[in-house]
Amino acid sequence: MLPWSLRSAARRLAAATRAAASSAVAARSPAPAPATWQQRPPAVDDDREHQQRAAVWDDHRRRPRRSEFSCTTKASGDHSSLTRQLLDFKHDTVDEVDGGYDPFSQLKARFTDFKQRNYVENFTNYQKLAEQQTPEFMVVACADSRVCPTSILGLQPGDAFTVRNVANLVPPYEHGASETTAALEFAVNSLQVPNVLVVGHSRCGGIQALMSMKSKKDDRSSRTFIRDWVSLGKSARLSTEAAAGNLSFESQCRHCEKESINSSLLNLLTYPWIEERVKEGNLNLHGGYYNFIDCTFEKWTLVYRPGLEGGSKYAIKNRSTWS
């Protein structure tokens, strides 16, 4: 066994050798990257201050940076994470624009103008609307950007419960659930609106798609969401072909635009709770046609006579043109 002095010297020599080796490795290694919000800071003392600082660091690491918010949010099944991100920024009032055209700039200006000219000046009315709604109309209109029933008919908040879809179609009752049928059910059964108005219009792309469909069974390879939806107006297309099949395609579309409105009015009566209210006289069904070429509006009301023997159960009344 080595004397104590020699053993001590050996230990000092080994320690010096290890230190030299560590220095050499450190010299060859790249400098550590500066800490970012994506990295937790190295552990320091275990005192309370440093623990709190580490917790705050972790919280910031989990949150996306505002400048990266729009590009780092990924679609996932956990939609609640998107809501949490919105809540994180709910107090922000500064608009961030990456540069160039901002499509919301005009909308913001219009909203602030609406708030000052409408909401503030009619504050009492808007407070009543905040408690409940009692609209006079349920409106079914086309999703076409040129056909806004609120602008065309001057509707104010609370006047009409509105749903818009391609070609302003009302599916028959047996079609089942859709956003249109759900809106009808709520408007008629819950809000008990006294009037349903179906508004069609000129140069409707949905009607053009309907009239472009082949009379024979369509090739399944050509099916799209639009074709499947507008096929609900097949009866209107067939009626148009029978009545105006010798006319130009444009004329046939114009005829079908009105034919499909009447078809939708008849489809409304396939809903038991709509038919019941119509028979009781508590609900009226109306058609409207907006021609944005010459800015005219046609309006008519459907008459339903379920107990009539012989002849048609349906008729048109109160037809007028506004120009």
Q: What is the pLDDT of residues 192-236, one digit of tens each?
A: 999 999 999 999 999 999 999 865 455 566 779 999 999 999 999
> Could you give the number of structural domains in the chain?
1
pLDDT at 43 over 70: no
Q: Is 30 inside a domain boundary?
A: no
Annotated binding site for Zn(2+): 142, 144, 201, 204
Domain coverage including residue 305: 134-322
Q: Is 25 inside a domain boundary?
A: no
pLDDT at 311 over 80: no
pLDDT at 178 over 60: yes
CA contacts within 13 A on the Cβ side of 185: 11
Q: Provide the 8-state DSSP code for 32.
A: P
Q: Is 208 inside a domain boundary?
A: yes
CB 227 within 8 A of CB 209: yes
Q: Is 78 inside a domain boundary?
A: no
Q: How many CB atoms neighbour CB 250 within 10 A? A: 11
Measuring CA to CA, which residue among 171, 192, 298 is closest to residue 235?
Answer: 171
Q: Is 105 inside a domain boundary?
A: no
Q: Is 127 inside a domain boundary?
A: no
pLDDT of residue 7: 52
Structure-block tokens of residue 250: 């444009």
Q: Is 250 inside a domain boundary?
A: yes
Q: What is the pTM of this model?
A: 0.69
Annotated binding site: 142, 144, 201, 204
Give the tens place of pLDDT for each residue, 47-84: 555 565 555 455 545 554 544 444 444 555 566 777 77
Kindly report the CATH number assigned to the domain that includes residue 208. 3.40.1050.10
pLDDT at 35 over 50: no
Q: Is 271 inside a domain boundary?
A: yes
